[in-house]
Amino acid sequence: MDIVVSTPTFENYTEVIKYAITIGATWANGSKTIYKSIWTEYKENTCIRIKRNSLMYHNRKFYIYKNKNILTMNDFYSFKFRHKNTNNINYLKYMSINDILKDLK
């Protein structure tokens, strides 16, 4: 999986991090912590990137500059709902953003 999700609220940020942790993602230091300081750095412009087993973050402008598609929270909720009963976590880890966007249509 390689997705970027816009997290306009701390609650949204928390939901995305919790989901990423359930599929095995961690921060670069191996942590599975929900760091409030990460969201407060960029606040409503915070985006979380889940790339296979890694969690990353930056502001929206950075991912736009990098030409990354950014999922809204509604897109993220749709994705989670459609795959909530998926038993093959590895399938989800290797989905591309294009696969996810196609899946949402």
Looking at residue 105, its pLDDT comes to 55
Return the SS3 of 96. Answer: strand
Q: What's the pLDDT at 60?
A: 96
Q: Please report, in tens digits, the pLDDT of each residue of the chain (105 residues total).
A: 788 999 999 999 999 999 888 888 999 999 999 999 999 999 999 999 998 889 999 999 999 999 998 999 988 888 776 666 555 445 555 555 566 666 655
- Note the pTM of the prediction, 2 decimals: 0.79
Domain count, the chain: 1
- Distance (Å) of CA 41 to CA 4, 44, 50, 77: 17, 9, 18, 24
Q: What is the pLDDT of residue 51?
A: 87
Give the domain range for residue 64. 2-104
